[in-house]
Amino acid sequence: MYFAFHKFLNSKPKTKNSKLVAALLDWFAANARDLPWRRTRDPYAIWVSEIMLQQTQVKTVIPFWNRWLRELPTIEAVAKAPSAKIHKLWEGLGYYTRVRNLQKAAQVIVAECRRRGDESQIKNKSETPHVVSYNFPEHFDEVLALPGIGRYTAGAICSIAFNQPTPILDGNVIRVLTRVFGIVENPREKEANLKLWKLAEELVCRAKAFRCGKPPGESAREDARTTKNQNCSHLNQSLMELGALVCTPRQPQCPVCPVRKLCVAFHDNRIGELPNLDKRTTATARHFMAFVVEQQGRLLVRQRPGGVVNAHLWEFPNAESNGTAAKDVFKSIFGIAPPVLQPLCTVKHSITRYRITLEALLVQFGGRRSTTSKILRARGTRPSESSGVWLTPAAMRRLAFSSAHKKLASAAADCILSGR
Ligand code: SF4
Report the alpha-carbon distance of residue 334 to residue 117 in Å, rounded.
54
Is the pLDDT at 335 greater than 70? The verdict is yes
Lowest mean pLDDT among 9-13, 14-18, 95-99: 9-13
Residue type, 296: Q
Closest CA to 197 of 213, 183, 211: 183
Query: Is there an atom of ligand 1 within 6 Å of 266 CB?
Result: yes
Query: Is there an atom of ligand 1 within 6 Å of 239 CB?
Result: no
Closest CA to 93 of 66, 37, 55: 55
Is the pLDDT at 220 greater than 80? The verdict is no
Q: What is the mean pLDDT of residues 20-44?
A: 96
Q: Which residue has the higher pLDDT, 258 or 229?
A: 258
pLDDT value at residue 129: 45
Q: What is the mean pLDDT of residues 317-329?
A: 92
Is the pLDDT at 3 greater than 70? The verdict is no
Is the pLDDT at 381 greater than 60? The verdict is no
Q: Which residue has the higher pLDDT, 207 or 116?
A: 207
Ligand 1 centroid, distance to 383 Cα (angstroms): 53
Is the pLDDT at 215 greater than 50? The verdict is no
Under the banding of pLDDT at 50, 70 and 90, the label for residue 191 is very high
Q: Taking the complete model, does pTM exceed 0.85, yes or no?
A: no
Report the alpha-carbon distance of residue 130 to residue 118 in Å, rounded.
19
Q: What is the mean pLDDT of residues 162-175?
A: 97
Classify each residue of 125-147 as buried b or exposed e, where b means 16 or more C-beta atoms within 10 Å of its C-beta. eeebebebbbbbbeebebbbebe
pLDDT value at residue 414: 84
Q: Give the whole-number percent of the chain exceeding pLDDT 70.
A: 83
82 contact partners, CB below 8 Å, separation of at least 6: none
Query: Is there an atom of ligand 1 within 6 Å of 260 CB?
Result: yes
The reply to whether 50 belongs to the active site is: yes
- What is the phi/psi pair of residue 349, to 5°? -155, 170
pLDDT value at residue 418: 72
Is the pLDDT at 374 greater than 70? The verdict is no
Is the pLDDT at 296 greater than 50? The verdict is yes
Which ligand 1 atom sits closest to the C-alpha of 260? 5
Is the pLDDT at 305 greater than 50? The verdict is yes
Ligand 1 centroid, distance to 196 Cα (angstroms): 16
- Encode pLDDT of 118-147 as tens digits: 764 444 444 444 444 578 999 999 999 999
